[in-house]
Chain A
């Protein structure tokens, strides 16, 4: 201590003290201030958020605005992404829907060009814009170990909430003005969960408070069982119901029988 106090009138003392105070204050603040976390659930790091911001500026900002605030002009319709949450980003980007290659009624599924890390980064950034649905954990969406009653309940929930747009097989359906509800056949569980949770584009939202995670899980379980199971009756003919059945009745049924009729009444080769 005598070392420091004997030099208290040193010209550098003031500077040293100022620097020391700054360090102390800064360190204290670091300890006390809340960690720079984007979402308490997902635990995204600041690095991911920054990475995401860069990717966003390149691939998304032209429609959604530099800060995800959205814009609607005559040619561009990019809704605001504030509050859509990491789950929405994961769904839209991993299915290739976003970025849309050109404006249209609906964003179709296309090959995804982002790696998993990039998607996570984008999700981190968008989640930082405002609180929104988080990406579910595997226990939430994995439909293993469901009982028969659970699966049956999943079917009832599917037919009450989903088949009106997606059809009883999940084969998809038409919406007005060229939009459509896509086919659900062969889709993985996480994707189904994300879609229900975030309500992409025209699809309504099915929040966890109303359609609980357990409800979503049994729906996914039902769909998985349904699509894995072979078609009991034979070729499914598209799974779109009486229209295709009628078409095939004419083509195969009448077609084959008319061919037989032609054979039956044909005169055949003559000996001369």
Chain B
């Protein structure tokens, strides 16, 4: 529990702080009620550690807030929609004001959605806000989790928070799927039909789960009411609980921060909750709310009146689920055909349906959940990390992340393969074939490219440290040689570029390495091979000696010849091959 935060010595400023002795007007008004509350709830002690809590400032730290505020908008707009929506599949004849559906039989769910859209003032706005907020909720969670991943913010002590986040992402996706199925329109009903068929085709338990979920045959008359209680009660409650735990942990662990001068693993540098952060975060809430409202006003989404009520003999070309289900949709579209089924005895095992239904989602969520633990096992790193990694400093992790994104993107594109065909005037079958191959090939290619890009960026950082920043000024010396003048970088930047923690590739365990029993030895060898996969190509920070030498060199010399190698007189290379460095770093590789 921190004591009141320390302020950095300040230079003079025009806006004076409130003189300490004089109580300001707000304090005078609030004093009474605060004391009343404190005498019953002990709020002062509760609030004290958190009142001036410090939050670092970076735009990428606001992605999680977009998700949180979208969720709040979902709750508020959802309450409004609940007041008029009828979660019933009973058949009624439409008597509302949308003339193009007049007199048609439809479910009460659909009819009440039409009423919200046309007969209740503000209903269409709230419906659209609600749907845009749902799209943004999942999008922001995904962007936020990518930020956490690429900066290594999931490392100890934040693994549990990461798991909570993976849970929130999964819950958000299903919540959205159930939500847009509630109006019982043709598009979402087709999605329900897909869900029904996919469940039925599941080996062993398929028909049982289907009959239990739909209370009999599809569509029956209970699926909408069942989705309704899941959507407004069970899942939001779970999300709220997980969000509360997620935020509590952020408060307890304090936020991570990027490396920089004055920032260490022990400190958090930023603005206090009151007043600055509250104003910025609170303001951002209103901005998110406002943007979502404007989207609901200006951009049409899910026009159920054009799509029509659900009819199991009708379908639209270009039927897709909402974007966050796109990767599962793509998986099922690019499965090769004719479909893959096993026939064993008198049973049928429909792998053509079960694999795309189960595998991508399982791979995504389980992979995300396990990754922090896998990385911790590989590195053996048990220390806490509060400084973020720049993605380039862990090229393998970044490469794996981009590979996963590529895999996701290929599947996502597969979900829209017919739209790709029509928009770009190409053959639907050709698109499908390309994606069938790309889903395996593209992630590998992406990994290799990303890793090399990261290493290239590390090299440029290395150059900056040793030789300074390039000024673009070309000099010519009396002998006729051209060279570029470099300007030394500030100590602050030097510090920021050398703050990352480093991991090393390990050589295989040998006799002198300590006692390992057979199975342990195999595991340890595997781990060491993994460290080589992870870290063998990574560049290492220059040592203090190297930096001092480079500074001296530049002091004396007149600059660097363009194209001159880095090896002349600078010690043992710059990590051309990180596994075989002699000198100070070799002890990490000694068998």
Contacts from A to B (Cβ < 8 Å)? 105, 148-149, 151-152, 155-156, 159-160, 163-169, 171-178, 180-181, 222, 225-226, 229, 231-237, 239-243, 245-250, 252-254, 256-258, 260-262, 264-266
Question: Which B residues are CB-close (under 8 A) to A148?
Answer: 99-100, 102-103
What 9 A-B pairs come out closest when comparing CB atoms?
Answer: A173-B317, A246-B323, A233-B300, A178-B427, A174-B418, A249-B135, A261-B62, A168-B316, A148-B102
Return B195 CB to nearest CB of chain A, in Å: 15
Contact B124 A174 (CB under 8 A): no
Within 8 A of A (CB), among B131-188: 132, 135-136, 139-140, 143, 186-187
**Nearest-neighbor residue (CB-CB) of A108 within chain B:** B425
- Among B260-315, those with CB < 8 Å from A are 280, 283-284, 287-288, 291-292, 295, 297-303, 305-308, 311, 313-315
Residues from chain B with a CB closer than 8 A to the CB of A226 are 100, 306
Min distance, Cβ A100 to any Cβ of chain B, angstroms: 16
- Assembled-state Cα–Cα distance A237/B302 (Å): 11
Q: Which residues of A contact B422 (CB under 8 A)?
A: 172-174, 180
Q: Is the CB of B323 within 8 A of A233?
A: no
User: Could you say which residues of chain A place their CB within 8 Å of the CB of B288?
Assistant: 257
B284 and A252 within 8 A (CB): no
Q: What residues on A are CB-neighbors of B128 within 8 Å?
A: 233-234
Of A151, A165, A236, A248, which is within 8 A of B100 by CB? A151
| A252 with B299: CB separation less than 8 A | yes
- Known contacts A160-B314, A167-B317, A174 near B59 by CB under 8 Å: no
Residue of B nearest to A263 (CB): B59
Tell me what chain A mostly uses at the interface: helix, strand, loop, or mixed.
helix
Chain A residues whose CB sits within 8 angstroms of the CB of B300 once the complex forms: 231-237
Chain B interface size, as a band, is 35 or more
Structural contact, A256 and B291, CB atoms closer than 8 A: yes
Q: A164 touches which one: B117, B124, B135, B315 (CB < 8 A)?
A: B315
Contact A245 B135 (CB under 8 A): yes
Nearest Cβ on chain A to B184's Cβ, whole angstroms? 15
A156 proximity list for chain B (CB < 8 A): 104, 308, 311
> A151 vs B103: C-alpha distance in the bound complex, in angstroms?
10
B501 touches A (CB below 8 Å) = no
B103 touches A250 (CB 8 A): no
Of B283, B291, B428, most buried by chain A (CB within 10 Å of CB) is B428
Best-buried of B299, B313, B320 by chain A (most CB within 10 Å): B299
The smallest C-beta distance from B151 to any residue of chain A, in angstroms, reads 15
Instruction: Tell which of A176, A232, A235 touches B117, judged by Cβ atoms closer than 8 Å.
Output: A232
Closest chain-B Cβ to A179's Cβ sits at a distance in Å of 8
Query: Is there an interface contact between A178 and B428, defined as CB atoms closer than 8 Å?
Result: yes
Do the beta carbons of B186 and A159 come within 8 Å of each other?
Answer: yes
Across chains A and B, the number of contacting residue pairs, with CB separation under 8 Å, is 199
C-alpha spacing A43/B57, complex, angstroms: 81
Task: List residues of B (361-402) whose CB comes within 8 Å of A's CBs.
Answer: none
Evaluate whether A233 and B303 lie within 8 angstroms (CB atoms) in the complex, with A164-B315, A249-B135 already known.
yes
A155 and B101 contact, CB distance less than 8 A: yes
Interface check B356, CB cutoff 8 A: no
Q: Shortest Cβ distance from A181 into chain B, in angstroms?
A: 7
* A250 x B102 contact (CB < 8 A): no
A-B contact pairs, 10 of them (CB 8 A): A155-B104, A160-B313, A174-B419, A225-B99, A233-B299, A234-B299, A236-B300, A237-B300, A242-B320, A245-B301
B322 at the interface (CB under 8 A from A): yes
Per-position binary interface string of chain B over residues 513-544, scored 1 when its CB falls under 8 Å from any chain A CB and 0 otherwise:
00000000000000000000000000000000
List A contacts of B102 (CB < 8 A): 148-149, 151-152
Is there an interface contact between B136 and A253, defined as CB atoms closer than 8 Å? yes
Cβ–Cβ contact B99 & A163, under 8 A: no
B99 contact from A151, A172, A266, Cβ within 8 A: A151
Contact present for B427 and A233 (CB under 8 Å): no
Q: Is B348 an interface residue (CB 8 A)?
A: no
A251 to chain B, nearest CB (A): 10
B259 within 8 A of A: no
CA distance A235 to B317 in the complex (A): 21
Interchain CB contact under 8 A, A168 and B421: no
B317 cross-chain contacts in A, Cβ below 8 A? 163-167, 172-174, 181
Asked if B321 lies at the interface with its beta carbon under 8 angstroms from chain A, I say: yes
Q: Is the CB of B316 within 8 A of A152?
A: no
**Chain B nearest CB, measured from A264 CB (Å):** 5
Q: B449 interface residue, CB < 8 Å from A?
A: no
* B59 close to A262 (CB less than 8 A): yes
Q: CA separation between A178 and B423, bound complex, in Å?
A: 11
In the complex formed, the residue of B with least CB distance to A253 is: B136
Residues A240 and B318 in contact in the complex (CB < 8 Å), given A148-B102, A254-B143: yes
- Asked whether, in the complex, the Cβ of A174 is within 8 Å of the Cβ of B321, the reply is no
Chain B residues closer than 8 Å to A159, beta-carbon distance: 186, 308, 311, 314, 316
Residue of A149, A175, A260 near B428 (CB, 8 A) is A175
| Given A152-B101, A164-B317, A180:B302 Cβ within 8 A | no
| Contact A235 B284, beta carbon cutoff 8 Å | no
In the assembled complex, how far is the CB of residue A56 from the closest CB belonging to chain B, in whole angstroms? 30
Minimum C-beta distance from A62 to chain B (A):
26
Please name the residue on chain B nearest to A222 by beta carbon: B100
Decide if B284 touches A261 in the complex (CB within 8 Å): yes
Name the CB-closest residue of B to A272: B11
CB distance from A183 to the nearest CB of B (A): 9
Q: How far is the CB of A12 from chain B (nearest CB, A)?
A: 77
Q: Which residues of B contact A240 (CB under 8 A)?
A: 318, 419
Whether the Cβ atoms of A253 and B428 lie closer than 8 Å is no
A246 near B303: Cβ-Cβ < 8 Å: no
Q: Closest CB-CB distance, A71 to chain B, in whole Å?
A: 25
Q: Does B326 contact A (CB under 8 A)?
A: yes
Contact B295 A169 (CB under 8 A): no
- A174 and B62 contact, Cβ closer than 8 Å, known pairs A155-B100, A163-B314, A264-B284: no
> How far, in whole Å, are A160 and B104 apart by their CA atoms in the complex?
14
Asked whether, in the complex, the Cβ of A168 is within 8 Å of the Cβ of B187, the reply is yes
